[in-house]
Amino acid sequence: MNDETKRRLVYGFFSLVLSALATRLAMYLTNKLLGEPLEELA
């Protein structure tokens, strides 16, 4: 495995992890600011 392949794998891994964390953080902050969502539509 050459350096470019390793770089792409590490980049992809960090991209996936950070995207998931950003989504969770956005949901957490939204719920803190506006309250928990209502479950009427379920």
Task: Quote the tokens at residue 30.
Answer: 């939204």
Q: How confident is the model at residue 33 (pLDDT cuts 50, 70, 90)?
A: very high
- What mean pLDDT is reported for the chain? 92
Rounded to a whole number of angstroms, the distance between the first and last alpha carbons of the chain is 48
Residue 40 pLDDT greater than 80, yes or no = no
> For position 36, what pLDDT does the model report?
87
Q: How confident is the model at residue 12 (pLDDT cuts 50, 70, 90)?
A: very high
The pTM of the full predicted model, rounded to 2 decimals, is: 0.68
Which DSSP string corresponds to 1-42? --HHHHHHHHHHHHHHHHHHHHHHHHHHHHHHHH-SPP-TT-
Residue 41 pLDDT greater than 80, yes or no = no
Query: Are 31 and 37 within 8 A, CB to CB?
Result: yes
Cα–Cα distance between 27 and 24 in angstroms, integer?
5
